[in-house]
Structure 1
């Protein structure tokens, strides 16, 4: 796969290629953007993208650790 899309001449994307949407916050655990922001990123103006980028550091606290996921559910089954 080519990384040309990651090196376009526009504002850098916060994507780190770890795309997992947190079930409660609905934010990507990799880049901290919402699904709507991710989908609209290529159509956003540079000013709107910059505003999102500036807000991302404040979103880290919105993610709470999940408690075990599938492995924990399987361990609890009789």
Structure 2
């Protein structure tokens, strides 16, 4: 995963402090712009695992 683009898909619904749209915690969402690329990649990797655990579809918003 090379991209560090913001993973927000504008769903913004939370289950136990984790967004079911992007898989990030509220703390990670607030800190996103201040994180460096390495930290962003770590958050993205962790968020993907969370989405799998939540059974989220991971759908992207239409363009």
Calculate the TM-score normalised by the size of structure 2. Answer: 0.71
User: Hey, which bits of structure 1, 4+ residues long, moved more than 4 A?
Assistant: none
Structure 1 vs Structure 2 CA RMSD: 1.8
Greater relative CO (CA pairs within 8 A, separation 6+): 2
Task: Show structure 1 runs of 5+ residues with no match.
Answer: 1-9, 65-78
The structure with the largest strand share of the pair is: 2
- Deviation, 1:11, is 2.1
Where do 5+ consecutive residues of structure 2 fail to align?
56-63
TM-score (norm 1): 0.59
How many equivalent pairs are there?
52
State the match for 2:46 in structure 1.
55
Per residue, is there more helix in 1 or in 2? 1
Pairing 1:18–2:5 present? no
